[in-house]
Amino acid sequence: MEYTKSQTYDRQFLLDNMMGPNAIKILEELTQLPEMFELKPQMRVLDLGCGRGLTSIFLAKEFGVQVFATDLWIAASENFARFKEAGLEQRIIPIHADVADLPYADEYFDAIISIDSYQYFGREEGVADEKIAPLLKKGGKLAIVVPGLIKDIHDNIPPEMLLSWNPEDIETLRSPEWWRKLLSRSQLLELEAVGELEGFYECWDDWLACNNEYAIGDRKAMEGGAGKYMDLVYIIAAKK
Ligand SMILES: C[S@@+](CC[C@H](N)C(=O)[O-])C[C@H]1O[C@@H](n2cnc3c(N)ncnc32)[C@H](O)[C@@H]1O
């Protein structure tokens, strides 16, 4: 796919701030899917697990929405500096918080978007209904992309994957079917679509090209062929 919007971003800025497969290309593809909801300027959007805020910048810049850029590992002050530098401090609010204890009112958001982070906090049954869905307005939308597996192979992990990751890391990777089953048990969300993005290799190639120590660690497995078992899973749901 052609990433016409992502291509306008400074490559070095992206490489310096990536925390996984190219998040803004992932977001660009997600926002162009036929099943994806429309993002409109008056919307209040929670970017959940935003990391260094690349996706928050993309959301504010490309769609004009108000973004609550929320993350656990990255300090709010660090993200605030980046948002100011991008001239977007009026539209992006940096928040340091854990999904276990989010500081937002119920029914506050029109949409929640979470790129490459839901796999860390959202694999337990109940997280969606207890921590996430309550924050959405009725009819509000949730869109998630996680690095995943084409099929769940946890009982027989391919050796290529073990070149970079241990079984605990691989626990976070799950198939579209696994995510569909988990989220279809939600009482508060109506699952609208689950599928795989087509930009898997391009988004991973960008990540492997950066000097982040985790990217360097991931190279062995990907160069060894682990990518053939993996995908990028998207999930779109609406608050009932
Ligand atoms: C691999 S990074 C991806 C960051 C960003 N979304 C991106 O794609 O560049 C995963 C992010 O998930 C966030 N995260 C993990 N567990 C979290 C939790 N319990 N609450 C909030 N954020 C969490 C981390 O802080 C981290 O920034």
For range 141-146, the mean pLDDT: 98
The pLDDT value recorded for residue 227 is: 98
Q: How confident is the model at residue 191 (pLDDT cuts 50, 70, 90)?
A: very high
Mean pLDDT along residues 64-93: 98
Domain ranges for the chain: 22-152+170-198+228-239
**Ligand 1 atom nearest to CA at 26:** 8
Q: What is the mean pLDDT of residues 208-215?
A: 96
Beta-carbon count within 10 A of 217 CB? 13
Mean pLDDT of the chain: 98
Answer whether 0.95 is exceeded by the pTM: yes
Residues with CB under 6 A from ligand 1: 18-20, 23, 49-51, 54-55, 71-74, 98-100, 115-117, 120-121
Report the separation in Å between the CA atom of 161 and the middle of ligand 1, taken as the mean of its atom positions. 22
Reduce the DSSP state of residue 205 to 3 states and report it: helix
89-101 pLDDT, tens digit per residue, is 999 999 999 999 9
Q: Using one digit for the tens of pLDDT, what is the confidence trace for 110-137?
A: 999 999 999 999 999 999 999 999 999 9
- Reported confidence tier of residue 63, pLDDT bands at 50, 70, 90: very high
For domain 22-152+170-198+228-239, the CATH class is alpha beta
Q: Distance from the CA of 46 to the center of ligand 1, in angstroms?
A: 13
Spell out a b/e string for 164-203, using b for 16 or more CB atoms within 10 Å of the CB, else e.
bbeeeebeebbbbebbeebbeebebbebeebebbebbebb
